[in-house]
Structure 1
Amino acid sequence: MYTYEVAQPTATMLLTEILDQETGLDVELQSFLTRDLGLVMKDRGELASRYARDPGNPWLVCALCMAPVILVRTMERRFHFRHHPRAEAEQKCSISTRGQLSAEQINCIKYNAAKESAAHLRLKGIIRDSLIVDEQCSEPLVEKVWKGVRLADRAQWRKPDVQAELNGQRLAFEVQLSTTYLTEIAGRREFYRANNGAMVWIFHSFDPSSTRTSEEDIFFLNNNNVFIVNEATLARSRVARRMALDCWYAIPHLRGKTIIDEWVMEEVFLDQLIVNAQEQKVFFKDYDTLRAELLSSVSSDRARQAFLDFWMQHAATDSKESDEAWRTLREQMKTASPDLPLPSDYRMGKFHGAVSIMLSARFGHPVGYNLPRLLNVANTAFDHYKGYLLAFGWTLRAFANEQLLADQDAKQTWQRRKKLIREGLERMDEAYRQDRSYNHVIAFLIPEIKEKLAHGREW
């Protein structure tokens, strides 16, 4: 099951002037509200969480009255901003978005009513019974108060559906209810974050092709992981003596320039989950890391191509145009690959030679040199860059260019030199010691030999 959705703003909005207090800049609403749905939903949750943590220091505010705002989603799955219910009650702004009841009041009414339903009570019982048979968990507590660190702050205490301890980590289990109550979600997340607990949201069912806002407010903030319990998971728990759950999780894939999510369901146990109380994430599959790696890979590919384009066009020349192109490339690299420091001058020291012989081995022809054949580059490497000969050989093999070099070696000069190189390596001749000075650049340009570079010869 693959999913992809782009968030959309409502056709008309009352609040159109929103200020980002971190940057001091106006929020461009069209751009902010037309990103990947997951990104917008995460910001919706972050907006509520920051207000719950520190109401006096909101992230986004109404630029007209400086009151905090919330990001609302309509029944048509479109987004707009409105004043936070608490700020709206004070009616300070010339633009009013207040109804007869605030969103906070409506959510509290719906939330409390839903907690009394038969479905909610049964799920709570399944969680309790699953924890009871789990020999690694403490005795579960049902509807018991979880007191905050500051004992006097009773208003902030919570009463989770079920709570237990697993290997020293306190867990609060909450049943997901079919209603919208983002303020409640944010309040609970911040309470457990402050009190060294972790919240595990439990669903009674899940269909990734048709998700509700109340579900998305939870799983987009929880690493795109959804947990389900039912009679079948309870039966598995009793057999295994471990709390069993069904876990739906997303795996990101790149399709062109777009990331789409593949949803997978897997049977898991509670003790297999990763708990990050500080970030309030409890998950089986680390979607956020997978997505970051995918984006990093895309960014690296583009940065690598930009470097190769420069080297192909400019590295064999010496001109003002080349110098300017190198300065431009270095600035690009500071953003795309900040961990890849480049010299101020590409002709500095052995940098030019090391990069040129490696790229020549990769592409099978001279790159960065005004030479006729790969054989000439190989001889240059032997004469002046013996510390890079190991990496040169690895690259030739990785890109199947060894035979090409042999075909050019009509006088067997390179064949004789290959024998000298082997003998020098065997006797640990200092001249052939691997020069690691530019390993970070070579690994970036030729990732196919990255592991060999990291574990190369040392004596």
Structure 2
Amino acid sequence: MFIYEKAEPTDRMRLTEIFDLDTGEPVDLQAFLTRDLSVVMQDRNELAGRYTRDSERPWLVCRICGGAVMLVRTQERRFHFRHHVDEEGERNCPISTRGVYNADQINRMKYNAAKESSAHLRLKGIIRDSLLADESCSEPQVEKVWRGMPIAERATWRRPDVQVERDGQRLAFEVQLSTTFLTEIVGRREFYRVNGGAIIWVFQGFNPGETRTAEEDIFYLNNLNVFVVDESTLERSLKAKRMALNCWYAVPHLKGRNVVDEWIMEEIFVDQLTVDPSRQLVYFYNYLSHRASLEATLDTGTLRQDFHDFWIEHGVSEEPEADTAWQALRERMSAAIPQIQLPQSFHEGRFHGAVSIILSARYGRPVGYRLPRLINVTNTAFDYYKAFLLPFGWTLEAFNQGEILADQDTKRTWAKRRVIIRENLRNQDPAYRQDLRYNRLFAFLVPEIKDRLADARHW
């Protein structure tokens, strides 16, 4: 079954003034909410995840009151923004989206009720019995508390449906309920990531042609892999003495410039899964890798070089034709790589500086600056762009710029600063905390460092 769907905004949105704190630009709602559904769903989860990790550093906010916002999906499968449930009513915003009960409270009521359903209890039993049959797994624990790290508060602990240890890796199995809500999904993912575990969401059935938002919030975050257990998988588990599952996964195909997903079901065992706790991914088929390879076959090489050429030619320009050329390049980037959102103006402060230091490291000379030598760019990077020093250093290393810098660093200023940088990174100095906002763009501009960027995380 092939699936392709574009997101759509609601006809009536109360919050229409949304501001992007990463780019310093207002959000074009029509453009943001009409991209590929998979991209919008991933951004919806990223929006909630970033607030969960650090509520003081949200991504998108209400332009009127400055409060963090969430991306909500209606029963008609359309999207709109509302204030985050933790901030609704706290900032006296003239636009309110809160009723007697907010959506989070209503969903929590439904979730708690569904946890007691016979279907939920039976699925827990199937998971438990399947794991008991698997000799590679420890004895499964049902509804036992998974405590956080010693510094964590008791309120942050989780009680997974079933938990087990396999090959030294702790796994939490959670039954997907029709009312599982985004804040719960994101909260659990973050909890297990911090505590070295991995979460496996289990469905009682799956139809790729009739998916619900509660399901999509899970599988779009899990490499488009869906796991199902039932009586037949339990029978296979008992016979093979390996936990069996049915795995639905999407295989990407190019049709024109669109990626269309073909859903396939395969009978698998838990020992065939790849477990990546740091990214909270548990999958059988690596959709993200295959999709990235497909997208790389598009004419991104020419587009990349055009971006480089623009920055080399216009990076320091204040002329109107530079702005015109930027808008044309920005439109091409939006069409070819919608995941990368560029600001209206390439002069935007942090954006311009971040791109300039990376491309300067790429070419071994100042790009985007009126500076004489690469060593001068290192001073600018150290003084003003500490949060981007890691990708800057990776790019210098990838293009062997060490010899150029050694020749130019006659006073050994950069050599001494490299020692300072390494020490402050080890000590997790907040000033050096990596800013990830442009990582997608950096991976496009300098694919030689994309693997290191993909592994990058806030400490």
Q: What TM-score does the superposition give when structure 1 sets the normalisation length?
A: 0.66
Compute the RMSD of aligned alpha carbons: 2.6
Q: CA deviation at 1:152?
A: 5.1
Instruction: Write out aligned runs for 1:209-288 (5 A).
Output: 209-288=209-288
The answer to whether 1:144 aligns with 2:144 is yes
In the alignment, which residue of structure 2 is the partner of 1:36? 36
Q: CA deviation at 1:94?
A: 1.0
Instruction: Write out aligned runs for 1:331-410 (5 A).
Output: none
Whole-angstrom distance in 2 between the partners of 1:101 and 1:234: 40
Whole-angstrom distance in 1 between the partners of 2:112 and 2:364: 63
Whole-angstrom distance in 1 between the partners of 2:104 and 2:256: 41
In the alignment, which residue of structure 2 is the partner of 1:183? 183
In the alignment, which residue of structure 2 is the partner of 1:67? 67
Q: CA deviation at 1:302?
A: 5.1
- CA deviations 1:248-277 (Å, max 9, x no partner) are 000100011111000000011101101111
* 3-state SS of paired residue (1:86): coil
- CA deviations 1:339-393 (Å, max 9, x no partner) are 9x8999xxxxxxxxxxxxxxxxxxxxxxxxxxxxxxxxxxxxxxxxxxxxxxxxx
Q: CA deviation at 1:278?
A: 1.0
- CA deviations 1:380-430 (Å, max 9, x no partner) are xxxxxxxxxxxxxxxxxxxxxxxxxxxxxxxxxxxxxxxxxxxxxxxxxxx
Contact 1:180 1:213 in 2 (8 A): no
* 3-state SS of paired residue (1:202): strand
In the alignment, which residue of structure 1 is the partner of 2:107? 107
* 3-state SS of paired residue (1:87): coil
Whole-angstrom distance in 2 between the partners of 1:109 and 1:343: 58
In the alignment, which residue of structure 2 is the partner of 1:309? none
Q: Which runs of 5+ in 2 are unaligned?
A: 307-325, 337-357, 366-459
The answer to whether 1:164 aligns with 2:164 is yes
Instruction: Write out aligned runs for 1:285-296 (5 A).
Output: 285-296=285-296
Report which of the two structures shows the higher radius of gyration computed on alpha carbons.
Answer: 1
Contact 2:67 2:91 in 1 (8 A): no
Q: Which runs of 5+ in 1 are unaligned?
A: 307-327, 345-459
Whole-angstrom distance in 2 between the partners of 1:79 and 1:145: 35
Q: CA deviation at 1:7?
A: 0.2
Contact 2:7 2:35 in 1 (8 A): yes
Change (3 A) 1:9 1:304: closer
1:119 partner letter: A
Whole-angstrom distance in 2 between the partners of 1:102 and 1:33: 23
* Runs of 4+ residues over 4 Å off in structure 1: 300-306, 341-344
Q: CA deviation at 1:85?
A: 1.0
Whole-angstrom distance in 2 between the partners of 1:89 and 1:241: 54
1:224 partner letter: L
Q: What TM-score does the superposition give when structure 2 sets the normalisation length?
A: 0.66
Q: CA deviation at 1:150?
A: 3.1
Whole-angstrom distance in 2 between the partners of 1:74 and 1:178: 14
Q: CA deviation at 1:107?
A: 1.4
Contact 2:64 2:93 in 1 (8 A): yes
Change (3 A) 1:297 1:157: same
Q: CA deviation at 1:61?
A: 0.7
Q: CA deviation at 1:2?
A: 0.3
Residues matched between the structures, number: 319
Whole-angstrom distance in 2 between the partners of 1:342 and 1:62: 39
Whole-angstrom distance in 2 between the partners of 1:101 and 1:304: 48
Whole-angstrom distance in 2 between the partners of 1:251 and 1:95: 42
In the alignment, which residue of structure 2 is the partner of 1:207? 207
